[in-house]
Structure 1
């Protein structure tokens, strides 16, 4: 399972649906992974929604990752090429309703490269062909 920044933030901030996300995470049948890009996105989001600085937000995210046994995978050329493909098909500015941003394109590519479902919040990924970890 690849855990997108949106799911990380939702579980940490107890946003609507966080319990269902946590249940899906606990029931993962593949290794739980994320990327440095997703971590940065999560830290940026927590900084925006909470009264916490960047170091504090990073500490919160890293503690969550440790407690949830989520491993950070490297972004290699394989994932980078996959992100380009995702952008070309689903990215912002393309003629597709998903309108994935850069971080989304990398999350999509990581899930594809490792052949695992994607844990996410929102409607963007559900408009692609990626396997949801919630189904």
Structure 2
């Protein structure tokens, strides 16, 4: 089964948060891993903030991890944009308890358009219709 990897789980792993081993095991239990330019961007920023490595080193770390684990980069197209807008309308901050932000809405859309499980940390996506 394919899994779209949200930035939240990547930041947890790459910044070695307290649950990084558990999150890494969850990630490695899937045989086809996906991310997008937006999740890459969010991961780099999250790692840079959490570690103070700066953007360039954080990008190297994120890209190396993705390459080592065989991530495929999915593109953001018309279908993803449409579904992300719908996710924002249904689950966006100020509209729903899920409180999805822009990056979350695009992760939701990428998982949906690629028929993939969404790997994430936290409980925001659990409040949506993704399973």
TM-score range, shorter chain: over 0.9
Q: Distance in 2 between matches of 1:114 and 1:20?
A: 25
User: How far apart are 1:20 and its partner, in Å?
Assistant: 2.1
Task: Describe the superposition over 1:58-113 as per-residue Cα deviations: whole angstroms up to 9, x where unpaired.
Answer: 1111011111111111011111101001000001121x100100000000000011
Instruction: Tell me the residue number matched to 1:85.
Output: 86
Q: Which runs of 5+ in 1 are unaligned?
A: none
Alpha-carbon deviation of 1:51? 2.1
Distance across 2 between alignment mates of 1:47 and 1:74: 24
- 1:120 maps to 120
Secondary structure of residue in 1 paired with 2:73: strand
Where does the alignment leave 5 or more consecutive residues of structure 2 unmatched? none
What SS does the aligned partner of 2:76 have?
A: coil
Q: Distance between the aligned counterparts of 2:55 and 2:111, measured in 1?
A: 27
Using the size of structure 2 for normalisation, the TM-score is 0.93
| Partner of residue 106, structure 1 | 106
Q: With structure 1 as the length reference, what TM-score do the two structures score? A: 0.91
Counterparts of 2:26 and 2:88, CA distance in 1 = 27
| Alpha-carbon distance between aligned partners in 1 of 2:18 and 2:50, rounded to the nearest angstrom | 15
In the alignment of these two chains, the number of paired residues is 129
CA shift for structure 1 position 24: 2.0
What SS does structure 1 have at the residue aligned with 2:30?
coil
Query: Displacement of 1:11 after TM fit?
Result: 0.9
Corresponding position of 2:12: 10
